[in-house]
Structure 1
């Protein structure tokens, strides 16, 4: 099961999973985006589409039940859906703050809760939540986003502790700047990429030591690893995919 599947990292991950022969339940708020994705694939019955808002508990529970009815037990969950909320803290409206928390932290909570309840009796499963390196690094005009991602990170680690006795692993992937629509939407012009890589002393933001921003494949590689048996003894881990931008600070 992959949320945020209609674009960016989520779309890339769906494609990669299908290439490996997996059955995938693709979740996203954008039904048209899901249908566009399906039209570019030849996945047949291995792909099911579930348009929903991850802030809606009933919709999440129904999608999990429907996915298991179609594909069988959900053994892997990648919670990728998220929104970018910009703005200085003193200027944020209540609804902007609440939207960021409800989707970026509440979405992983609702999905993981629904899936984990089914994984526990089976005593197997792997969950990966896509957070952000902003969860551990203060950023100008990103208070709501950073706080919501910090909540998602700690939620996942606590869940991993609670589920360890059942053999269920829970990990976090924390990308930095990644070449997605969300990232490009923050750029004022074509120089945006170079400015991100360079960093900004005025806004207290470090650049990227590797000299490039991540691709969706870079992040998908990390998610696929943590979902796989190759990561069989890894849980409660937060894997940074940011080219060294946060110097691996917690």
Structure 2
């Protein structure tokens, strides 16, 4: 097997109990990484970790900066220095902007932006001191295109994307790479929670003129494994000369060149 910079290294994944985060944790473990699975649902993270070799689970609310520091310390004590960090944890509370409550706005930014800040700051400090490491933030294609009913989510993801790129610029001199993966519609519990009928998946793929939303040119929803594959590439040594990149994995939905 070609050395890829993943096997034998310690990786920490947030939001790892289900969906994209769980797929990322599984893919890293399959490539030989020692994986720290963190999630606000610690029990679910523990069940998933039990299915993986070299994995341990830690309950974590990323909105709590002190807890983030504590979990990084515990993971590094148990598994070794974190050299790969994948920030996936996020929430979605859809609403048109004029109907968005203060509570939903705060919660969205607490997890999707401030939580990512806590994780990236903690990982970045440790990696910079060691002179190596790879950070990947799972953002969203909503960060780059307006969406009806998703203003808070899109704004938070846009902030997170730029946060990651700025960190990548600051840490480049220390040999630490910071990249973004921006999924489109992916077959996860978060996506399915938006659906109200049996034809909703087809409607997402087709798009909606009324909502000013293009469909998915490739004609399918992403599978979480599709996103995990992109994360693994950016985390690996195959991407050793890539940093501050924003990789859209959305089947062409945003029509990006």
Output the CA distance in 2 between the equivalents of 1:138 and 1:96.
19
Q: Does 1:54 align with 2:65?
A: no
**Count of aligned pairs:** 246
Aligned residue for 1:75, secondary structure, equals strand
After TM superposition, the structure 1 = structure 2 runs for residues 48-197 of structure 1, keeping only pairs within 5 Å, are 48-197=56-205
**Equivalent of 2:234 in 226, 229, 244:** 226
Runs of 4+ residues deviating >4 angstroms: none
Aligned residue for 2:117, secondary structure, equals helix
Structure 2: gaps of 5 or more residues: 1-11
Match of 1:240 in 2: 248
Output the CA distance in 2 between the equivalents of 1:35 and 1:57.
21
Structure 1: gaps of 5 or more residues: none
Could you list the per-position Cα deviations for residues 62-83 of structure 1 after superposition, in whole angstroms to 9, with x for gaps in the alignment? 0001111111110000000000
Match of 2:43 in 1: 32
**What is the TM-score normalised by the length of structure 2?**
0.94
Output the CA distance in 2 between the equivalents of 1:245 and 1:133.
8
Output the CA distance in 1 between the equivalents of 2:52 and 2:126.
29
**What is the TM-score normalised by the length of structure 1?**
0.97
Output the CA distance in 2 between the equivalents of 1:42 and 1:167.
29
Please report how far the alpha carbon of residue 103 of structure 1 lies from its aligned counterpart in structure 2 after TM superposition.
0.4
Match of 1:213 in 2: 221
**Equivalent of 1:14 in 19, 25, 34:** 25
Aligned residue for 1:105, secondary structure, equals helix
Could you list the per-position Cα deviations for residues 71-115 of structure 1 after superposition, in whole angstroms to 9, with x for gaps in the alignment? 111000000000012111111111110110110111111011011
Match of 2:7 in 1: none
Output the CA distance in 2 between the equivalents of 1:239 and 1:34.
26
Question: Root-mean-square deviation (CA), in Å?
Answer: 0.9
